[in-house]
Structure 1
Amino acid sequence: MLRFCVILCNCRSAIVYAFTQSFIETNGIRLNVAAQGAGPLVLLLHGFPETSYAWRHQLAGLSNAGFRAVAPDLRGFGLSACPMEPRLYTTLDIVGDLVGMLDALGERDAVVMGNDWGATIAWQAALLRPDRFRAVVALGVPMMGRAPIAPSQIFPLTEQAWFYTHYFSQPGQAESELERDVAATLRKLYFWASGDAGPRDHKTPNPFGLVSRQAGLLGALPDPESLPAWLDDTGFDAFVKAFKASGFRGGLNYYRNLDRNWELQAAFNGRLIQTPALYLVGEYDTGLAIPGMHEIIGAMPKLVPNLRDSEIIPRAGHWLQQEAPDRVNAAIIDFLRKL
């Protein structure tokens, strides 16, 4: 197992992030993981388009609070392996990676925490393997029951535009647009989905909803003059470097399995998450603009009977753990200490 130490300085706030990085071979795949601290294990799962670096504030915060924090680059991201076949990116594949990771780390169980796609995977890990994942924290994406029809039949699709998940599902097309200028892509995505873009509701235009077949996704997004206040040059450069190396194909392959995930979930339909759970979401998260999302969040206790708390973080957006690290760290550490 290769190990090396990463020390990064955030010059704006004089914060030093120090964590080790190593490679783990598990479940037939090589994963890069960032780790810091000692104590009960907490796994941190990033979303799209992010890497393990999205959890830099939590790696330090959890370590200081007496926990062992481990954040992998999920398969297809960062320095982790990126299988070619889209079929190898179902939620079950990723949960299998996490179970193997626990074995490789010598841990019996862990608390699993995720944002965006990481939240979806964290919910599924707690649902399917409560023996290995003793509690769950989800940021942004609530636990939802299995829909009556496949996702591809739910989301809108017209001759002029398609829902962004349909757009992401077209092999090659989204990669071509997103990889044309990686820095511009990330700058636009990070700004638009963050709290810096301001309040939003179901009446707010949302380029992440319908994507023009002619203009693509990025054409409808504003290009900010500067980075959001929560992301400094060092952090942004780390993400740009990662996606220049890996491309976006691995992350897009998660979307290309939405229907397959739905098919596989039939075997677990009706099963409840019994482990302790915490849900956090930013007040300005783009997901809250989706019609019916507040009702879905309100109904979560039916699917997660041991949901300890559900909190909306003021003025934060979709990249919650990066935008409001102090609020997020305080909430998760309080939750963890009460387990």
Structure 2
Amino acid sequence: MSALPPPRFVAANGIRMAVYEQGKGLPVVLCHGFPELAYSWRHQLPALAAAGFRAIAPDQRGYGLTDRPAAVEAYDMAHLTGDLVGLLDALEIEKAVFCGHDWGGLITWQMPLRHPDRVAGVIGLCTPFIPRLSADPIALMRAAYGDDMYIVAFQQPEVADRALAADVGRSVDFFLRRGGAPDPQGERQELLKALAAGNWPGETFLSLKERAFYVESFSRTGFTGGINWYRNFTRNWTASAGLRQWIDVPSLMISAADDPFLPPSMAAGMAKYVGDLERHVIPACGHWIQQEQPAQTNRLMLDWLRRRVADLGPGDLGRL
């Protein structure tokens, strides 16, 4: 198991953020998803540092050792991207490459749209760039999948929060599994029912020590902070009206062949919105790509970073 370095704490965008760092060089900010932590990047931090990069993995707003504001609206995209800008400011970094997985990927792809002067490049793991939809995402998901679809169900206050927190170990085992559902659409529709049923597909990939880290953290914090990210889909959609849907920084998209939730096909249309895009697919890998296949994930990330960092001149790197 790769151990994390000790955290440091910084003031960023009005919250106290726990940050794990290794290495020196071009900063690469690693953004986790749900239900993950900075710990999800335990295999990438030392690999990036050894290759001459400054790897930076925060516990994001609502997670781990970082603050968990009470208000739901404190978890909208403006706050989440603002946190990353505040992190750069606190670390005196002008620009960074942003790498995101799952929900972290959604934030990462928004950074060059909302804060282009702070972004040297983007790496998406599993999560492709998704342009602004034609209507409220929650309304579209409700119409397509019904009220039991997990993102729609997450809109109800406290229901999912209580269900996941009732047995944290069981919830960790439910989410962090290798292999996908035979009917991923059905699982999306009835996530809480699937959690209760217990007949889950796939197998866990965590060691006992790794599992214990997640269980301890979410036992202390609960899941509300992360679920609140989902409760801002409508607010984010409304606020993004008029935001140009075009990314013009070097971008890498790494998909997982067996990801049932964000399959490689979802990235097929990205070239319409991303001017400088390189794509790869890791075979025999499910949704938790950087933890399931760390060696292959690291190899692709480092190869791209080495090639693309050479394209960045001193003026592009600012105070790095």
Where does residue 144 of structure 1 map in the other structure? 130
In structure 1, what residue type is equivalent to 2:267? I
- The reply on whether 1:277 has 2:251 as its aligned counterpart is yes
Q: TM-score if structure 1 supplies the norm length?
A: 0.86
> Alpha carbons of 1:179 and 1:276: their partners in 2 closer, same or farther (altered >3 Å)?
same
> Alpha carbons of 1:93 and 1:222: their partners in 2 closer, same or farther (altered >3 Å)?
same
> Alpha carbons of 1:272 and 1:221: their partners in 2 closer, same or farther (altered >3 Å)?
farther
Where does residue 233 of structure 1 map in the other structure? 208
> Alpha carbons of 1:271 and 1:17: their partners in 2 closer, same or farther (altered >3 Å)?
same
In structure 1, what residue type is equivalent to 2:75? Y
Summarize deviations over 1:177-221 as a string: whole Å, max 9, x none. Answer: 000000001101112xx33x47x5xxx254542127xx6351245
Conservation of the 8 A alpha-carbon contact between 2:262 and 2:287: no
- The reply on whether 1:131 has 2:114 as its aligned counterpart is no
- The reply on whether 1:21 has 2:18 as its aligned counterpart is no
| Structure 1: unaligned runs, 5 residues or longer | 1-9, 11-15
- The total of aligned residue pairs comes to 308
Equivalent residue runs for 1:32-43 within 5 Å: 32-43=18-29
Deviation at 1:106, TM superposition (A): 1.2
Where does residue 299 of structure 1 map in the other structure? 269
Deviation at 1:130, TM superposition (A): 2.0
Query: 3-state DSSP class of the match of 1:271?
Result: coil
Conservation of the 8 A alpha-carbon contact between 1:146 and 1:265: yes
Conservation of the 8 A alpha-carbon contact between 1:89 and 1:253: yes
After the TM superposition, list the runs of 4 or more consecutive aligned residues in structure 1 that deviate by more than 2 angstroms: 156-161, 204-208, 219-224
Equivalent residue runs for 1:4-15 within 5 Å: 10=1
Q: Percent same amino acid at aligned positions?
A: 37
Conservation of the 8 A alpha-carbon contact between 2:145 and 2:189: no
| Structure 2: unaligned runs, 5 residues or longer | 309-320
Task: Give the aligned CA root-mean-square deviation in angstroms.
Answer: 2.1
> Alpha carbons of 1:323 and 1:331: their partners in 2 closer, same or farther (altered >3 Å)?
same
- The reply on whether 1:286 has 2:260 as its aligned counterpart is yes
Conservation of the 8 A alpha-carbon contact between 1:43 and 1:113: yes
2:281 to 270, 290, 312: 312
Conservation of the 8 A alpha-carbon contact between 2:132 and 2:245: no
Where does residue 5 of structure 1 map in the other structure? none
- The reply on whether 1:209 has 2:183 as its aligned counterpart is no
In structure 1, what residue type is equivalent to 2:98? V
Q: TM-score if structure 2 supplies the norm length?
A: 0.91
CA distance in 1, matches of 2:230, 2:198: 20
> Alpha carbons of 1:326 and 1:159: their partners in 2 closer, same or farther (altered >3 Å)?
closer
Conservation of the 8 A alpha-carbon contact between 1:59 and 1:69: yes
Summarize deviations over 1:156-187 as a string: whole Å, max 9, x none. Answer: 36998521101111110001100000000110
Equivalent residue runs for 1:39-118 within 5 Å: 39-118=25-104
Conservation of the 8 A alpha-carbon contact between 1:34 and 1:72: yes
CA distance in 1, matches of 2:241, 2:157: 26
In structure 1, what residue type is equivalent to 2:289? L
Conservation of the 8 A alpha-carbon contact between 2:194 and 2:200: no
Query: 3-state DSSP class of the match of 2:148?
Result: strand
Conservation of the 8 A alpha-carbon contact between 2:4 and 2:39: no
Query: 3-state DSSP class of the match of 2:33?
Result: coil
In structure 2, what residue type is equivalent to 1:274? D
CA distance in 1, matches of 2:143, 2:210: 36
CA distance in 2, matches of 1:208, 1:279: 25
